């Protein structure tokens, strides 16, 4: 087994998932603004450190994705944030793209940037303790979108990024996110997401990326959030599995979903059904940002000194999602 494949299996072992705590400073500021907490480096650190030092890290979180600011911060106990995470047995990941910018030639769409100087940045992150990385491509569904241009250029960037990351002995999380914003049907989401993922794998293969050493981070198949169509959680699971079976090569060891704006319970319920009906060889797991942190953030913002109370909420959410990766979650477990 390759070293990279070992890292993937370690992150996703025993139903563990990934905490996506890599919000950029701008995004984190929006999250903190929404709960009326000033977005200072100290407050951003305080909230994140509260999560990273919770007991759930040992049992439920196999990896944490950090942002450049956080990987360099020092905890209140005077160890580095990577040390704090590694001491829990979880692995350190880092977001390495520099954000989605307007795509020249199709200004309604975005292309993710960050390839310039990436090899050097990766070497530094590796020295800081990172074992895996993240790059997010983003696509919107509308009448003529995503365009061929967006599908092609984002797949190309994801593949170039992945090849560089593996060269530096780290596991790339490949995240092509088809947004849930819009009026589109679930069928359209299925078609577009399948096309996007297939194109990504064509490019990954051209760039000689070892597919056993990546984690795919896709969206689930949902109807648009402004669509009149309402589909059941069972249908979400069925369509998501249909999409992944037809577009992901079987060498890929693990798939960790993003939550993409779904509520905490919804994303857990959908993951539970996906795992229950999973007949593929892929390990199905989670790499949630909002759907792991929302409840904890809301509580913390009103009780900033109550570390234990905040951790209890986070512990519960991670436990629920780890149960969901095994198809063992039930609504009755929710408090
Ligand atoms: P959400 O789960 O909030 O969609 O975030 C996951 C992520 O890492 C987006 O890039």
Longest dimension (CA), the chain: 52
Q: Which atom of ligand 1 is nearest to the CA of 288?
A: 2
Rg of the chain on CA atoms, in Å: 19
Query: 332 in a domain, yes or no?
Result: no
How far is Cα 314 from Cα 307, in angstroms, rounded to an integer? 11
Report the pocket of ligand 1 as residue ranges, CB < 6 Å: 20, 136, 175, 258-260, 288-291
Residue nearest to atom 1 of ligand 1 (CA): 289
Residue 186 has pLDDT above 70, yes or no: yes
311: domain CATH number is 3.20.20.70
Ligand 1 center–CA 259 separation, angstroms: 6
C-alpha distances in angstroms, 26 versus 30, 33, 101, 250? 6, 10, 14, 37
pLDDT of residue 1: 66
**Among 20, 172, 215, 255, residue to substitute to test ligand 1 (most atoms within 8 Å of Cβ):** 20
Residue 72 lies in a domain: yes
Q: For 9-53, how does the pLDDT look when each residue is reduced to its tens digit (9 = 90+)?
A: 999 999 999 999 999 999 999 999 999 999 999 999 999 999 999
Per DSSP, the three-state class of 33 is helix
Determine the distance separating the centroid of ligand 1 and the alpha carbon of 258, expressed in angstroms.
Answer: 5
According to DSSP, the residues that pair with 66 across neighbouring strands are: 94
User: What total of structural domains would you count in the chain?
Assistant: 1
Model confidence at 335, pLDDT cuts 50, 70, 90, reads confident
pLDDT value, residue 262: 98
Cα–Cα dist 149/105, whole Å: 8
Look-up of token digits 């009780």: 303
CA of 89 to the centre of ligand 1 (A): 22
Q: Strands 106-112 and 100-103, how do they pair?
A: antiparallel
Tell me what percent of the residues of the chain surpass a pLDDT of 70: 100
Classify residue 260: in a domain, yes or no: yes
Most informative mutation of 219, 288, 292, 324 for ligand 1 (most atoms within 8 A of CB): 288
Q: Which residues pair with 20 in a beta bridge?
A: 65
Determine the pLDDT at residue 311: 98
Q: Among 158, 160, 165, which Cα is nearest to 197's?
A: 158
How many angstroms separate the CA atoms of 233 and 237, rounded? 6
Does the annotation count 192 as an active-site position? no
Q: Which domain holds residue 283?
A: 3-326
Asked if residue 334 belongs to a domain, the reply is no
Q: How far is residue 222's CA from residue 231's CA, in Å, rounded to a whole number?
A: 8
Identify the residue whose C-alpha is closest to ligand 1 atom 4: 260
Pocket test for ligand 1, best of 289, 291, 295, 318 (most atoms within 8 A of CB): 289
Whole-model pTM?
0.98
Q: How far is the CA of 219 from the centre of ligand 1 (A)?
A: 9
Partner residues linked to 93 by β-bridges? 65, 132
- Rounded CA-CA distance 20/18 in Å is 6
Distance separating alpha carbons of residues 168 and 209, to the nearest angstrom: 12
> Is the distance from CB of 63 to CB of 22 less than 8 angstroms?
no
Active-site residue identified among 217, 226, 228, 331:
217
Give the closest residue (by CA) to ligand 1 atom 10: 136
Q: With respect to residue 185, please indicate whether it lies within any of the assigned structural domains.
A: yes
Q: ∠ at Cα 214 (141, 285), nearest 5°?
A: 70
Q: What is the pLDDT of residues 220-268, one digit of tens each?
A: 999 999 999 999 999 999 999 999 999 999 999 999 999 999 999 999 9
Among residues 9, 6, 21, the alpha carbon closest in space to that of 71 is found at 21
Cα 302 to ligand 1 centroid, rounded to whole Å: 24
DSSP class per residue in 197-222: HHHHHHHHHHTT--GGG-EE-PPP--
Q: Is the sign of the CA dihedral 236, 241, 246, 248 positive or negative?
A: positive
Give the DSSP H or E segment for 184: none
Query: Which positions ≥6 away from 37 have C-beta within 8 Å?
Result: 43, 47, 301, 304
pLDDT tens digits, 98-124: 999 999 999 999 999 999 999 999 999
């Amino acid at each position: 087994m390759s070293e990279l494949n070992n890292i993937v299996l370690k992150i996703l072992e025993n139903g563990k998932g990934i905490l996506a705590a890599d919000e950029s400073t701008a995004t984190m500021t929006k999250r903190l603004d929404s709960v009326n907490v000033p977005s200072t480096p100290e407050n951003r650190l305080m909230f994140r450190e509260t999560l990273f030092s919770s007991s759930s890290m040992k049992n439920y979180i196999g990896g944490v994705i950090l942002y450049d600011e956080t990987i360099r911060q020092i905890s209140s106990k005077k160890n580095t944030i990577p040390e704090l995470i590694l001491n829990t047995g979880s692995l350190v990941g880092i977001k390495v793209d520099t954000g989605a910018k307007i795509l020249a030639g199709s200004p309604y769409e975005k292309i993710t940037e960050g390839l310039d100087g990436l090899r050097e940045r990766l070497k530094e992150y590796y020295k800081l303790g990172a074992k895996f990385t993240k790059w997010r491509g983003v696509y919107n569904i509308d009448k003529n979108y995503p365009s061929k241009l967006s599908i092609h250029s984002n797949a190309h960037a994801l593949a170039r990024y992945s090849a560089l990351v593996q060269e530096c002995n780290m596991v790339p999380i490949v995240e092509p996110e088809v947004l849930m914003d819009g009026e589109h049907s679930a069928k359209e989401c299925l078609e577009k997401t399948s096309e996007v993922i297939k194109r990504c794998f064509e490019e990954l293969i051209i760039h000689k990326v070892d597919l056993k050493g990546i984690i795919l981070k896709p969206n689930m198949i949902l109807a648009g959030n402004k669509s009149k169509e309402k589909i059941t959680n069972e249908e979400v699971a069925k369509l998501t599995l249909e999409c992944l079976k037809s577009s992901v090569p079987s060498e890929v060891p693990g798939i960790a979903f993003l939550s993409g704006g779904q509520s905490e319970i919804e994303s857990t319920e959908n993951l539970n059904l996906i795992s229950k009906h999973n007949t593929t060889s892929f390990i199905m797991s989670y790499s949630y940002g909002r759907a792991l942190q929302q409840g904890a953030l809301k509580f913390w913002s009103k009780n900033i000194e109550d570390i234990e109370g905040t951790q209890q909420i986070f512990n519960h959410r991670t436990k629920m999602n780890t149960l969901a990766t095994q198809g063992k979650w039930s609504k009755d477990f929710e408090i």
